[in-house]
Structure 1
């Protein structure tokens, strides 16, 4: 059963706050306090523990009712011991017993084995009359319940268990009494509860407010939780928060809301009022508003970034209904069919995609005071042709008709140019032109002196207006992915209100190659006064090899920008001449960031040495809060000592050809300050992700340790030489390991032979590495008492996902305990693999653990008929770009002639849920053995140009929910039996030219075959001809983002 996560519950409740559950309480008390003679038919017959179950949908108040009963004085008197356990997540018997013991003795339980726990349980509750509440149970496996029940049959006669659950099946499995099904509150009690939660005494004197409140209470569906939540949220909402909440009604239900965009919109509408007494900024006030609404429960399904900051959220459907009630007539989420609109509307959004043929509805023309034009559902279309461009005249009409606009959203419209009349929208504060086709903005845009937010991120934009400095109120200038933008205009230094500038481009190159390059453009020194910048900043520097801009770089004053959390510095221009090194070193030296920085990314730095603020041990004292570091295509020979950064979680290095060792020796792990105090810094105490890619000369982490490993591996070395090598380093140096590393990726590092031990790695990617490299154990350690090498003890390994280009050797080298836990295996670019027969032994070990298996770009793989039969727990199987693999022919016919039974499809019939075949050149049809996969839910077939049909037996896949057909050039029709796939929810057809017309709704010839399918997507392949120019320009300019 799918179930939502919930917090752990507890037994306390204020009885006077509970309304409308008196009768239910009496019924449950009657069952609890009854004598053993009335403990239920099943309990009497089987001498079971009496179990009372409370059943009801989420939010109905099951837990609250259980709390009421649990804390009733009669229950306290009747039971010697009362125990409360929230089961919720997983019905794990050991975990439940531990929680019971914790509830019994009111303190934490030490980690014990099950046998010890059973003894402890007998000690604490044996021969005692107890009441045990198991709250929020989801387990429908009867055997698990019976096992737990038997362990609990140790109490004195009269002990009882009370269970709350949403499932009648759970109640049937566990209960000995008929389940008590909890119903919703009456309309009278619903209103009584809502009024109590939502209104203070003053508000209850307002008839209009009470009228709205009654309507809202009805919408809560008689659910106590909904009534309580909504009521408490509304308490005090009649304030500036009201408009912010109402504004969310402009977004369709289930739409993801980006927090920063939402705040920008609120600010643009004038809804945010900073606290003057606290010297609060507009952005800080907007953040407070958001957090207040979040804490009141208006938002859910939040998504956070790597730092824990909220980035996205959603609104529950009920909350959305409430927002619409609060919004009244001033806010309108319209659909395309609406021609009549209320003349009082101030804020308008369209809940559907606007095509290039869209015209302004007649009713909209009367909205003279319109302030908001939003397109929350606008998506980028694949086809880019002149016939499908959005009309510039419509854009002109929007500007002319609605001069009071504060928010204008044109994102994802196929708009090639912006009318110069845009400058007449003098009230405009928010303008979104992202993902459009605009290459150049009109100069008149700089007349928008109230503009606060300008989103321009799309890779076709080539230039910004010269007079952008006139936008003095600009708070956000978003040109994040404008890879064609080669420079920025001078004057940005005057935009001191800016707090979001994701990309800043500095060009000292005045060559003709730079499109529309002015004589004067932005310099690094323009950043000097922009001390309100926060979040991320990417500085892209076009080198000028005739200058040494160290003075200008230092004037950027990055060390004073405490709001910056992410800094990316990239250098561009490829000429490899002598003074590139000096140029880059001078610039980077002056760009020392504030110590609050959390992410540092440096790309294409050609200096041989790092700046003073990042050298060796100095990085820890200058940037102690770094959480993520990325270095790409840098020429320095040494890298900082990363291992002493206390908060570093993510380290990525790519194409660092001059680096041979990460550190000279373990002695680097102590900063000067810690050395002086005799302290030893932990080795990467927080590192969770490590990515080393295309480091062609990297040999090891520490030079000396690699030498010891090399000595130990060489049979020609004498024992005295080995001991001598080991004596150079103490035990501490060689025993250090990545204590928290969970994700490790090593790609194309052919010389790398040694890495510190990584016992907690769960996700491992290894490709193009030295065969002597061991990443999940440390081959040699030094004894603390002798100067000899010995094999280290192995910690419990946790590997769950493995990606490799040498699957046979990799699986053979892994400890067997790894294979027992491995749930995902991806074989990628493995040219050695010809048959899976050689993997049979490893696959047999993986039989119970492996859930996902993928073969991708295995060009020599020909046979998979042997070995895979062991993988009976497999849920996902993928074959992609395996040119020699043919699953449609008989590999070795059996006596019965059923050849493709050699591919063990029957072994997968119980658990396989997802199957993909993509671009298997030799495969000419679906294997008939697939008919066994009656539990398959997802099937993707792609890149079979010569196939002319899908077999009629596809209807045997009776559980199929999602069918995807991509790039079948000759496929002309769908099978008739598609009608029989009654579970099918999604059908996607793309790049199938002969099939497309037959499947176009409503009149396509094949439409009756899938009329029962709720979601059908039929589309051509991307229009490569019309989009070629854009793709070429994007690729040509991609170097700007490297």
Structure 2
């Protein structure tokens, strides 16, 4: 039978695999350790009964797992069994935890006798514990027996042997399947899609050279397409591959006729390798000779571009039609074709998804059904695909907790897999991470995970794949979204953390007592706050947790309950910037493998008995700047693989030799506090040279150079020689005059990055030019270096810095000479250097290298004596020049005509001015500029105005400009009258130009979105935003503001002489924001205020003359109102407040000097029930917040009270139940009453996620 190989896909990804869990349980139940712990006879008997029941179930699992795809009842039975299996796994993990803990106790006591080890009194062996375990086992056995009737009803076939066959016969994740039906025309064009290096070409070669392929096709041809898609060249290459005869014809028609003749009547296989082109027309021309093909012919296309596979619409649509209609096209159902095309596009180039969605519509020709599928989120893979191993399936299933569009890091998901026990196929702890990497790569290779478009270090899931993962996971994984209710069988929970997370968000979680994952995820970098009730009431009851994250939550104190979560393997408190210490109970978490404290700025100490965490593999304390040392006996954590920072303290037991036994460290390691090493010989005892998996090493002393001993530090650095496989090295605050000999030694030929920071006594740079892979060199703060010359390149200066891409010199305050004359001319070229930065080197004389063929970015900042020439930088696209006196625009402008600089910043250059000799205008005109910034150039008087043109000759701003910034040019008076010709200009910023009289009166560019000007604006129909501030002489705004139809925002602040605002009225169509702030002479608002129907935000602040400012009324659609002053508040309160039914944010300052309550009970006015934010400030006599006034504020989430010195009463308890944030400051009586755990009003506010009292966050 004819066969064709194809990439394996994922049919059985939706299967439930319980057999491996049952096998694991049977091994555990038979282990000698478990039986010795189960000392009571009754407990042993219960274990035996459980074991027997599991064996009976195990005998039918082969049949059940085979039948589940066809029979839903069988799958339902397996799901019930899976839930019980999870419960049993929790119980067995309790056993394993206690066994491990007791073994550790005996090892620490130095006992080698197993008998004595178990004879130590322990609650685990007492009657109560045995009864508890016995009860749990008996309950599970009973529930397993309850499954028996359904098992019998399903007539599941029993087997007498173990079941190695099915799993072993399944294909491995990277295997291929020989598929029948090669003559099926739906598969004429087969794309192999994936990122570079993933193995597309290798797979195509395997197909091309397969023995069965040789017999099936009459002709084969291979053509490498690459990014240059030349139809004639490709056609000739195919023809030559088939005929083995060169083709000299250059007429495409002739060549295609010859190819068609060769292919006529023959089955052919053609491979087009490395295709990038997406042009449908060119594809059509290329395929002309294949249109009359013999059935069974195939074209394989390898590409990394999703767009390429999308251009094969006819073939993709044909596959979809075959599965949906059983036909190759839509001739019989033309009305369905448009919807079908949309469905195929929804697949985003994933053939598996197209085939699956077609299967869901099989023979259904109802248009509504097709449209339903177009919007559907639930789909399953059809049964005729090949398999995925169960271990990988569990990893994929777990990914169902990842929200759509959430970009995650590879390490982040691997350590979560590890915490759930998905990587237990290898027993060696050091290989578990490698297995996780392998599984991750497998999922990427199957296109189940994809590299994020926005960040290539992060990954995402295609929406359809995300739906698939959720379908596979069922109730096991739950993303908390909308009003969906969590199942009591849920094991893994994730949700998007919001700014303030209150108790209502988590009410449904209390039912899910068996959760193993509690995972908040962040979509932004803002600080988040969590109600303390989650910490005190919810989390302590989740005793089955393996992974607990509170990342990003600003929790001031963590309760001791953490130590009760005995099964915990992953604990993440990262980005908590307020916590100072951790509960000591963390040290009792025997199973803990990953402990993440990244970005805990204020954390001062770790738990003191961390040596008990013998299973700890990952400890990340990056950014915990206030930590002064590690815990004692750190050397006992021999399983550590990732240790971001090792801090050397002065205390005994915090020495460098603690690293000696941590032989499994890998990745990045920073050793700080090296000045505390008293005995230089200790450094060598760290044995860094033996730790070959450390790829990035940072050695850091303290920035205080007083009382430092150079000879000691030199010996310390000698002793810290790392493995020669090191890829990145950083040395900071070293006080020696010379580096260790190993730094820069040619034997470190894997080094790719070197950073030397603030080594203030170092006299010369190391010889690093001969390191073949070195890509980045950053030198900063080496104040004693005066010359950089041949020693930097090495003795033999030929072929130096052959890989260097980035070179930076900063704060070299005494560097005088870059001596390039002594260096070989070829070596000076830095052939691959793309970025060069020299900053704050005030004494540096001479010039930079003359010829840098690959340089794209050049930044020279505050190097006043350096001569800058960019004559021979052909690829330069970004140029920054600040504070440099020897950059002559006149000399450079003509040279820059030949290069394509797109971004140019120049500042602090006194010579930049309007003189014919300087002629900087030619400079800007000569470049293909998109971004231009000019700052602090005091000589500039005008830019491109008519009266200056004769003097400045060709002074113009290039027409390619997109963004232009001019700041702090104190003499600038005028801008060009030709700004309107800059049709690409989108952003113009002018600031700090006090003499600027006006913009030209001609029209501004139509695309310009003007943000701010200094003193005066002109009419412009495209203007969207106006911001005017600190204009002390401005008395009024120009007429015609009402004609700015596109204007959305007007903000006026601190204009002390402004009397009137837009007498002709404000724009009524699109104005959404109006701020009038501190304009003390303003007499009134425009008469059309009430007709601003689009207005959403209104601020009227500090208007002493504002008695009648709102006489005409205000728009009723306001969502935000910010006002100050008693007269304005009175007008709002009496006339308008009841009309503001959409108001969400209300900010009142100095509202009523005599008010005793808020809202004032005697007036009887209620606040809008729509409010979510309320701020009241400067009410000097206010004593209470009225319960009646707050009663209807059921949506209020944020409340701020400021400067109310007599306030002493909050509303009743239930009046503040919806609050997520409370801030009280300048209210001494109230601050005392709200003290945490002590004040009488604390019970009213303890549920609120964010409470700040007197400027301090208390929870």
**Structure 2 match to 1:583:** 712
Aligned mates of 1:940, 1:180 — CA distance in 2: 45
Match of 1:484 in 2: 626
Q: 1:239 aligns with which of 367, 371, 390?
A: 390
Measure how far apart 1:822 and its partner are. 1.6
2:769 alignment partner, SS class: helix
| Number of the residue aligned with 2:495 | 350
In structure 2, the partner of 1:690 is 807
Alignment of 1:33-44 (within 5 A): none
Q: Which of the numbers 827, 844, 847 marks the counterpart of 1:751?
A: 844
Q: 1:128 to 1:921 in 2, by over 3 A?
A: same
> TM-score if structure 2 supplies the norm length?
0.54
User: 1:204 corresponds to which residue?
Assistant: none
* Residue of structure 2 equivalent to 1:315: 461
More moved, 319-328 vs 183-192: 183-192
Alpha-carbon offset, residue 905 of structure 1? 2.0
Does structure 2 retain, via aligned residues, the 8 Å contact 1:85–1:103? no
Shift of 1:907: 2.2
Q: Distance in 1 between matches of 2:391 and 2:579?
A: 37
Among candidates 361, 366, 380, match of residue 511 of structure 2: 366
Structure 2 distance, partners of 1:236, 1:669, is 59
1:742 paired residue among 834, 857, 860: 834
Partner of 2:774: 648
Q: Is 2:721 the counterpart of 1:596? A: no
Match of residue 840, structure 1, among 921, 929, 952: 921
| Aligned mates of 1:556, 1:410 — CA distance in 2 | 34
Instruction: Number of aligned residue pairs: give it.
Output: 790
Deviation at 1:365, TM superposition (A): 0.7
**Corresponding position of 1:456:** 597
State the shift of 1:664 in Å.
4.0
Q: Which of the numbers 953, 960, 965 marks the counterpart of 1:879?
A: 965
- Kept in 1: contact 2:640–2:662 (CA 8 A): yes
Equivalent residue for 1:633, pick from 755, 758, 767 = 758
| Corresponding residue to 1:540 among 672, 689, 696 | 672
Q: Is the contact made by 1:20 and 1:185 (CA closer than 8 Å) also made in structure 2?
A: no
* Matched ranges for 1:532-571 at <5 A: 532-541=664-673, 543-544=675-676, 548-571=678-701
Match of 1:624 among 740, 749, 761: 749
Task: Indicate whether 1:294 and 2:436 are aligned.
Answer: no
1:803 to 871, 874, 880: 880
Which residue matches 2:536? 396
Q: Distance in 1 between matches of 2:807 and 2:754?
A: 10
State the shift of 1:189 in Å.
1.5
Distance 2:546 2:1008 in 1: 53
CA deviation profile, 1:52-83 (whole Å, cap 9, x unmatched): xxxxxxxxxxxxxxxxxxxxxxxxxxxx9999
**Aligned CA distance change for structure 1 residues 573 and 742 (closer, same or farther; 3 Å):** closer
2:861 corresponds to 1:767 = yes
1:881, distance to aligned residue in structure 2 (A): 4.1
> 1:480 offset after TM fit, Å?
0.3
Number of the residue aligned with 2:899? 820
8 Å Cα contact 2:935/2:969 also seen in 1? no
Q: Does the residue aligned with 1:375 lie in a helix, a strand or coil?
A: strand
Cα distance in 2, alignment partners of residues 765 and 293 from structure 1: 42
SS of the residue 2:468 aligns to: helix
- Structural mapping, 1:242-321, within 5 Å: 242-275=393-426, 281-302=431-452, 311-321=457-467
Q: Return the offset for 1:607.
A: 0.3
Q: What is the deviation of 1:612?
A: 2.4
Q: In structure 1, what is the equivalent of residue 909 of structure 2?
A: 830
Match of 1:48 in 2: none
Give, in whole Å, the separation in 1 of the partners of 2:1097 and 2:840. 35
Match of 2:1169 in 1: none
Give the aligned partner of residue 432 of structure 1. 572
- Structure-2 change in CA distance of 1:764 and 1:532 (3 Å): same
Are residue 495 (structure 1) and residue 637 (structure 2) matched?
Answer: yes
Is the 8 Å Cα contact of residues 187 and 222 (structure 1) preserved in structure 2? no
Deviation, structure 1 residue 878: 3.4
| Counterpart Cα distance in 1 of 2:232 and 2:1098 | 56
Secondary structure of the residue that 2:603 maps to in structure 1? coil
1:957 CA drift (Å): 10
Once the two structures are TM-superposed, the CA of residue 637 in structure 1 deviates from its matched residue by 0.7
Q: Report if the CA contact (8 A) 2:499-2:526 is conserved.
A: no
Q: CA deviation at 1:934?
A: 3.2
Matched residues in 2 for 1:735 and 1:682: separation? 6
- Secondary structure of the 1:543 match is helix
Q: String of CA shifts for 1:384-423, please: whole Å, max 9, x gaps.
A: xxxx953334212233221111111111112111001211
Closer/same/farther in 2, CA of residues 18 and 104 from structure 1, 3 Å limit: closer
1:841 CA drift (Å): 1.8
Task: Label 1:957 to 1:608 Cα distance change in 2 as closer, same or farther (>3 A).
Answer: farther
Corresponding residue to 1:522 among 654, 660, 668: 654
8 A contact 2:519–2:548 mirrored in 1: yes
Q: Distance in 1 between matches of 2:814 and 2:1121?
A: 61
Once residues 233 and 836 of structure 1 are traced to their aligned partners in structure 2, the CA distance between those partners, rounded to angstroms, is 78
Matches of 2:697 and 2:241 in 1, distance apart? 49
Q: Deviation per CA, 1:21-72, whole angstroms, max 9, x where unpaired?
A: 49x99xxxxxxxxxxxxxxxxxxxxxxxxxxxxxxxxxxxxxxxxxxxxxxx
* Partner SS, residue 921 of structure 2: helix
Change (3 A) 1:250 1:922: farther
Rounded Cα–Cα distance in structure 1 between residues aligned with 2:494 and 2:1027? 40
Where 2:809 maps in the other structure, the secondary structure is strand
Give the distance between the partners of 1:804 and 1:1000, measured in 2 at CA. 52
Deviation at 1:284, TM superposition (A): 0.8
Contact 1:659 1:695 in 2 (8 A): yes
Q: Which has the larger radius of gyration?
A: 2
Measured in 2, the distance between the counterparts of 1:219 and 1:418 equals 52
Q: 1:216 to 1:332 in 2, by over 3 A?
A: farther
| Aligned residues of 2:414 and 2:437 also touching (Cα < 8 A) | yes
Q: RMSD between aligned alpha carbons?
A: 5.5
Gaps of 5+ in 1: 1-12, 26-79, 108-118, 165-169, 195-209, 383-387, 509-518, 671-679, 707-728, 778-793, 892-899, 982-986, 1012-1016, 1029-1042
Give the 3-state SS of the residue equivalent to 1:244 in structure 2: helix
Distance of 1:955 and 1:230 partners within structure 2: 58
In structure 2, C-alpha distance between the alignment counterparts of 1:1000 and 1:582, rounded to whole Å: 76
Matches within 5 A, 1:942-981: 945-946=1029-1030, 976-978=1068-1070
Deviation at 1:464, TM superposition (A): 0.9
Shift of the alpha carbon at 1:699? Answer: 3.6
Structure 2: runs of 5+ lacking an equivalent: 1-177, 190-218, 261-269, 293-298, 302-306, 329-354, 363-368, 946-953, 1012-1022, 1074-1093, 1103-1113, 1123-1139, 1145-1171, 1176-1199, 1203-1222, 1226-1259
Q: CA deviation at 1:264?
A: 0.8
| Matching residue of 1:335 | 481
Please give the alpha-carbon distance, in whole angstroms, between the structure 1 residues aligned to 2:789 and 2:1024.
Answer: 47
- 1:742 and 1:502, CA in 2 relative to 1: closer, same or farther beyond 3 A? same
Q: How does 1:15-54 map to 2 (within 5 A)?
A: 21=186
The change in CA–CA distance for 1:664 and 1:295 in structure 2 (over 3 A counts) is same
CA distance in 2, matches of 1:181, 1:800: 42
- SS class of match (2:704): coil
Residue 649 of structure 2 aligns with which residue?
507
> Do the aligned partners of 2:379 and 2:467 also contact (CA within 8 Å) in 1?
no
Match of 1:407 in 2: 547
> Does the aligned pair in 2 maintain the 1:862–1:885 contact within 8 Å?
yes
What residue number does 1:675 align with?
none
